[in-house]
Structure 1
Amino acid sequence: MAEEPWDLRRVLDEIKDDPKNYHETDVPVDPEAELSGVYRYIGAGGTVERPTKEGPAMMFNNVKGFPDTRVLIGLMASRRRVGKMFHHDYQTLGQFLNESVSNPIAPVTVKEADAPAHEVVYKATDAGFDIRKLVAAPTNTPQDAGPYITVGVVFGSNMDKSKSDVTIHRMVLEDKDKLGIYIMPGGRHIGAFAEEYEKANKPMPITINIGLDPAVTIGATFEPPTTPFGYNELGVAGAIRKQAVQLVDGLTVDEKAIARSEYTLEGYIMPNERIQEDINTHTGKAMPEFPGYDGDANPALQVIKVTAVTHRKNAIMQSVIGPSEEHVSMAGIPTEASILQLVDRAIPGKVKNVYNPPAGGGKLMTIMQIHKENEADEGIQRQAALLAFSAFKELKTVILVDEDVDIFDMNDVIWTMNTRFQADQDIMVLPGMRNHPLDPSERPQYDPKSIRFRGMSSKLVIDGTVPFDMKDQFERAQFMKVDDWEKYLK
């Protein structure tokens, strides 16, 4: 008997009976700011405005204006929950994804009859077609430019269909059949494909897939150099599940869709057409982004003309809060894998583990656990930090710690800065480098000397490792080893 295909519903079936990881509510909720406002208190975590905490994923069953749609938020807003959903130790997810990148399983195309994503179909040619009434996309705050698709996996190909890719972008619902999409300059394969179409003045067919197995969502966030141009990240999800992701032909565009997505939007990225992101609200804001601040409304987003909306029966709309713990899982774990891959090639065995904590939104900070075997390894920790910057240009801060430090406990990490660190010799500052344009400190007026253009930054290495020849002076207090300590809790 064939194994049941992986999709969002199979994942939810595995966690729905665990109140620490899943909660449903039938209390009515407004998708305009209220839904995200509620979840901020219950489980968003990350760099969201306090008070917040890490909590269960939430399914809102009674969403105002959308009687036939449920909205899920926070599915990946816990590293431990991601480990549970991947059937893997949460502490070594970076290594696990690194192995998955190296051993991808390519997606397969299934017949229309085997694609639940097309159970319900609305086409732009239908009377009354309006994506704002069909897609329960929440706004995160009252200042948002509009309702946003925050976790839509965009599937697209180059013009000759020799390369395909999936990426995640913020997309705002602007009109009845029009989305604005922010494609960050450089590094995104979909952006390169769109440039090719635009130069030819042709619309680029795409599908937007929402409500997916988190293996697809997290796998889709890998970037170069880990996944080079032409590498389709759906193969990462295939490796995680040891089962190929299923695709199906689009109904109104010449492109593939993910066959078991909850929602699919089909359409075209229009050539040489742009739209003001907040054209309907004029707030000057886009939506909250991972550093914890509102993104500025972009004056010239690329435009997607929507040709169809399809969904499963009793569909689940999935959403995330930008600066939440969920973004840390989506962006941080693949970044850890990217760093581990490059570092292990250059200095094998010297970096034991890597963690990108919520304080950096999964992108801006990494903690590296260093193994020094002999005096020849002294200094190798700083080489590792430089390799991390080259593996992921959006990284801003690297903290280096020894093997006896728990990199998942910020108390332990900061402890090293107080007991194994001297600021005059254990800090490296690298000015004038590229970083992430969503960091609001990376503006020329903040530091005119080293920031010539927005998105540049000084990068920081904090070396909290003990010099090899002084290790015996920094041994932690040794307590008695008690194997059966858990019996005292019974």
Structure 2
Amino acid sequence: MRNFIEKMRENDLVIDIEEEVSSVYEAPKIAAGTDKLVFFHKLDGSYRSVMNVTASRKAIALALGYNEDELVENLSKAEYSGEVNYKGRHYMHPPNLFSIPIMKHFPLDAGRYLTSAVVFSEYGGVRNASIHRMLVLDEKHLAARLVEGRHTHTLLKKALENGEKLPIAITIGTHPAVTFASCTRVPENKELNFAAELMGGSLDVYECSNGVLVPDAEIVLEGFIGKDMTDEGPFVDITGTYDPVRSAPVIEITGMHVKNDPIYHGILPAGNEHKLLMGMPYEPKIYRTVAGVTTVRDVLLTTGGCGYLHGVVKIRKNTEGDGKNAVMAAFAAHTSLKHVVVVDEDIDIRNMEDVEYAIATRVRGDRDLMIIPGVRGSSLDPSRIGDGLNVKIGVDATMEMGKKDEFIRAEWD
């Protein structure tokens, strides 16, 4: 991560905060005012910390080594084939979560939360890496929000069925390519290989004393998830609203490895870094799925749609039904997607006025709206029914084939 911070600095994308800043509300407020990487040199008096590490598409492009305009297309071609190199074991010290400047972000949050931490888990020959929000309970315990049916929850369920605990390791302050890979749905066991591919082909990993492999990080925590449960929440999630209190598994931290003068990484809940890391990894998946039904040009999950719930898909129609087929493909690729708009090649999907223009001039409500009630959506959407059911709407905002001349937009050469 340190090398990436310097790369961001070379591109004038770092703001240094030299004065003392509190980890309770103050640092998150400062980060909310910019998309640049914010480097706090005196967090809570003596700690170093960064926020907004990848709060813009330009930053993600720098991290992954792609042209910003070709990010989605290039990511859609991923082969998850990077090489993972074993470099030895981490020596662990007794853990103390209170020695880390973990932030409290908003007034009604249940407490201090780890937000950037990647959870590496391993059981029965299956490895997984994913980000989970984790509430600090005391110096050795965390409560983790594990979404039911996702890989970490599935591995925990298998371990508990066998009367065992799930060994895990938590990294804070990894290279953004590792963070991005951990946010991406990839084939089983392939998160580290995907991270290696994004970093140029190889990635060094280290073994924790519980057997879990982790990449280089500023801070590494190791431990186990067992059968103990506790209340977790409220917490501000992707929509900027408070996610409710739920019962969550307890993580027992048994060891801790910290670099000299570590740099803590915090992600602002509902900030642009959160939105991009949560939603953008789905864009290549939508791209690939839509490519199976028509010619796809680009995909965007919009900032106004929380980076997760609203999508715009640009296509070149080959048959009259392609717009609606693209809608269905997008919903199949990203089940939390709530509303999607499909547009023609002449629309700039990163300009919401242009997208609105397509809806205004190319949509007939009786013909071009697809309303799908009673389907699984996002558990984070405040309008959900229960813990996830919702109504999805697709908008075919493409021109009717054979009538393109009627939609020519006036312009000067």
Per the normalisation by structure 1, the TM-score is 0.81
Which one of the candidate residues 180, 188, 191 is aligned to 2:153?
Answer: 191
Aligned positions of 1:293-308 closer than 5 A: 293-298=241-246, 300-308=247-255
Equivalent residue number for residue 268 of structure 1:
224
Equivalent residue number for residue 261 of structure 2:
314
Q: What amino acid is the match of 1:246?
A: D
Equivalent residue number for residue 331 of structure 1:
278
Distance 2:87 2:115 in 1: 27
Q: What amino acid is the match of 1:150?
A: T
Distance 1:77 1:22 in 2: 11
Distance 1:153 1:245 in 2: 16
Which one of the candidate residues 33, 41, 44 is aligned to 1:64?
Answer: 44
Distance 2:10 2:184 in 1: 31
CA-CA distance at 1:107 after TM superposition: 2.0
Distance 2:361 2:243 in 1: 38
Equivalent residue number for residue 26 of structure 1:
18
Aligned positions of 1:229-308 closer than 5 A: 230-251=188-209, 253-258=210-215, 260-270=216-226, 272-277=227-232, 285-298=233-246, 300-308=247-255
CA-CA distance at 1:413 after TM superposition: 0.8
Deviation string, structure 1 residues 298-322 (Cα, Å, up to 9, x no partner): 2x21010001121111211101112
Deviation string, structure 1 residues 69-127 (Cα, Å, up to 9, x no partner): 31110011111221133232222212222222x24214221124xx7xx6xx5314xxx
Q: What amino acid is the match of 2:127?
A: S
Deviation string, structure 1 residues 323-361 (Cα, Å, up to 9, x no partner): 1111232122210011112222x225x111111111222
Aligned residues: 413
Q: What amino acid is the match of 1:378?
A: E
Equivalent residue number for residue 90 of structure 1:
68
Deviation string, structure 1 residues 176-204 (Cα, Å, up to 9, x no partner): 21000010112x21111110111122111
Distance 2:93 2:18 in 1: 27
Contact 2:327 2:395 in 1 (8 A): no
2:3 partner SS: helix
Contact 1:328 1:361 in 2 (8 A): yes
Equivalent residue number for residue 50 of structure 1:
none
Q: What amino acid is the match of 2:69?
A: Q
Aligned positions of 1:119-138 closer than 5 A: 121-124=92-95, 130-132=96-98, 134-138=99-103
Which one of the candidate residues 131, 134, 143 is aligned to 1:168?
Answer: 131
Unaligned runs of 5+ in 1: 1-7, 44-54, 125-129, 278-284, 444-452, 481-490
Which one of the candidate residues 386, 396, 401 is aligned to 2:338?
Answer: 396
Equivalent residue number for residue 47 of structure 1:
none
Per the normalisation by structure 2, the TM-score is 0.96
CA RMSD of aligned residues (A): 1.6
Structure showing the higher strand proportion among its residues: 2
Q: What amino acid is the match of 1:254?
A: G
Which one of the candidate residues 369, 388, 392 is aligned to 2:314?
Answer: 369
2:119 partner SS: strand
CA-CA distance at 1:424 after TM superposition: 2.8
Q: What amino acid is the match of 1:295?
A: D
Distance 2:189 2:324 in 1: 30
1:32 partner SS: coil
Q: What amino acid is the match of 1:242?
A: G
Percent identical pairs in the alignment equals: 26
Deviation string, structure 1 residues 251-291 (Cα, Å, up to 9, x no partner): 3x222222x11111111001x210122xxxxxxx5221111
Distance 1:155 1:240 in 2: 18
Is residue 406 of structure 2 the alignment partner of residue 460 of structure 1? no
Equivalent residue number for residue 299 of structure 2:
354
Which structure is larger by alpha-carbon Rg, 1 or 2?
Answer: 1
Distance 1:24 1:96 in 2: 32
Which one of the candidate residues 92, 102, 116 is aligned to 1:151?
Answer: 116
Equivalent residue number for residue 80 of structure 1:
58
Q: What amino acid is the match of 1:289?
A: D
Equivalent residue number for residue 214 of structure 1:
176
Is residue 383 of structure 2 the alignment partner of residue 437 of structure 1? no
CA-CA distance at 1:464 after TM superposition: 1.1
Q: What amino acid is the match of 1:15?
A: M
Q: What amino acid is the match of 2:93?
A: Y
**Stretches of 4+ aligned residues off by more than 6 angstroms:** none
Unaligned runs of 5+ in 2: none
Distance 2:288 2:81 in 1: 15
Equivalent residue number for residue 145 of structure 2:
182
Distance 1:394 1:106 in 2: 32
Which one of the candidate residues 361, 366, 378 is aligned to 1:424?
Answer: 366
Distance 1:276 1:332 in 2: 27
Distance 2:72 2:279 in 1: 9
2:43 partner SS: coil
Q: What amino acid is the match of 1:27?
A: E
Distance 1:85 1:170 in 2: 23
